[in-house]
Structure 1
Amino acid sequence: MTRRTVRIAVNGVTGRMGYRQHLVRSLLAIREQGGLDLGGGDVLWPEPVLVGRREYALREIADRHDLSEVATDLDAVLADDSIDIYFDAQVTSARVEALKKAIAAGKHLYTEKPTATDVAGALELARLAQDKGVKHGVVQDKLFLPGLLKLKRLVDGGFFGDILTVRGEFGYWVFEGDWQDAQRPSWNYRAEAGGGITIDMFPHWEYVLHELFGRVTSVNAHITTHIPQRWDERGKQYAVTADDAAYGIFQLEGGVIAQINSSWAVRVNRDELVEFQVDGTHGSAVAGLRNCRVQHRAATPKPVWNPDVPLTESFRDQWQEIPDNAEFDNGFKAQWELFLRHVALDEPYHWDLLAGARGVQLAELGLRSSAQGRRLSVPKLSL
């Protein structure tokens, strides 16, 4: 067996997503399983180089996980010919400049979304990477969640008949930070730092809708800030400049209508933090992060509207749980493995910077739709 080492500059590892999902549950998990089996006796071994601004924080993480290399000089890291891949999980406002540097240095790159704060910047990154000939990928983790994998199984198997509508509910109450600490960093609520729920979540909804049901062709959105004042990590009050709720209606190629609500100011009254209900002529499904329930037309009850008598049936009990029928790995890890195979073996991979640009485009048009109070077409992007 031959072990091939791939050195990965991981920028933003001190943040929640960079540390928990990408370092611990993806790259280190791949190492714990003995590396990534490439077949033919070859194993790919990821070697993270932790990059950030605070050396003490990087060193603490490195020591905790028995890693040897940390760096605070991104330019020096990118100038190192032994670095194969640059990964970015920084705040959105810092991402474009770093990705441009990585492309110019000839590094393959993998990045969190959104790739930029506007579609022009996102398309520029895609063109630069294409011209440079580097491989590139964008995190689209929700496609690899067990609940959505089960939902895709239903779509591919023709369970729904003609799909009519998709309804999504996402969100939870993020504490304001005064009497209880907020669960999200304060930059998420500052537009000048790339914050806002629209730029955060509409890219997710774009790829979920695109991959499962069809390309988004129009958007009609209402975007707002429900809570105008919050308290940051130091307990200092600040004015919220970014949106914390986005309500969107999307028309898809083929005529499917999708409606998705996203909010950081909603208390959860559903089984999971995100749920999608899909209704078709032959059946319906409700999918969350892990679970998926269905109701076929042959098993659909006949409710009758009568507000004058007590309800005698439990509607939730009338749905059937879809079995796992497979072992589901962490979604971030699963996509990392596909990208690493793309780099090592040139296997096909389509979750690239152009796909990332589509997500930024939908967020940009959603914000514009809300500001103008009208439905906007979503042009097809190309390089």
Structure 2
Amino acid sequence: MPAIRDKVERSLAQIEAAKTSNVFTKVYTERARSEADAADTRRRDGTRLGPLDGTIVSIKDLFDVAGETTTAGSSLLRTAAPATQDAPVIARLRRAGAVIIGKVNMSEFAYSGLGLNPHFGTPGNAVNRAHAPGGSSSGSGVSVAEGTSEISIGTDTGGSVRIPAAFNGIVGFKPTVGRIPTTGAFPLSYTLDSIGPLARTVQQCADADAILSGGEPREVAPFPLENLRIGIPRGLMFENVDAVVGAAFEAQVNALAQQGARVFDVSINDLILAMRQATSPGPIAAIEAAAVHADWLDSRAADYDPRVLSRIQGGRSVTGAAFIRMMRTRNELIGAMDARLAEIDALMLPTVPTVAPAIAPLESDDELFGRINLQTLRNPMLGNLFQLTGVSLPVRTDSLPVGLMLLARGGSDAKMLALAKGVQDGLQLN
């Protein structure tokens, strides 16, 4: 078996060769080598710490690492005080023997589904560098897809793990909110933020999730496809689906049915419309981000990406009373969705209705950026607003990758991973 140090050296060389690609914001060269050597020693001694021991992991640039500034993809925080300790998820990764190779790029303050960043540059999509990487965990998606890390740890507030997974052709897992501690991760939304892994396989995501949530990794038994109950929420979530995505999705629906899965349409349009009405005063993320950024929005407005600033400022006008009513109605709708999903194993829909868009038009056109950003977030946001757990699986096409998304009831994370592994294995989505 090749030495872990050799594997790490190959990744470091690849990162150095492509250092202008904007994927990494910080590389822990010497520490990664030291961690690789320690993992090799444990392997020789027979004291391996588990499946993440010696695994190359990158982390989104919003997690605290002791002794360094957490910039969260923004120039505004370049001079902030350094973190005094590792975020709990980082400490857990280190205890599991992971080789943390570096921090990866992201949308500023995690507030975009497309992954553009004017401060640190935009990493191009791993399949086609002229196309968007997906956000906000942009560098995470690209680093795993290009092979500079085996697993990357991102955050998902409105799809920010699943979108880059879909755009780059890998797996992204969004756990139920509260499963993994968010302490030491710069917040976008206290209500919606969750921390999740991106990797090439569901098993790798499950191993990382177990460590991040304080559990023990174990082999995931694939959920049998025979009689799997899959609901297709046709309607609002299928508007403006492009031809590539639509064809890829229908092919997987047919393949599942041929393997014995029970695939049928379900209606959730009423719940989606009710949630849109409930949140019409303003997006939850914008309202909570306005509170997070309250001390900077006026005094340091010039330091923000203007597109991020405008969305955060949009949350300032929502009153406390309106926000409380919104959240109470949301809780009722979460319960209604949970009841609606009780008779199926998962919803299945395209992660994003289109393949990754080209970067250049998005950079030059604010209206286009805003419209495509909202379109990109629409489907995965379903999981965040209704407090579900979900996975995006990769579907190969003749052009850019497509994401196949599974969503299930909140708290059913172990079952979600088993479902995803069954679908990934059965449909050979690798």
* TM-score (normalised: structure 2): 0.27
More helix by share: 2
Structure number with the bigger relative contact order (C-alpha 8 A, sep ≥ 6) is 1
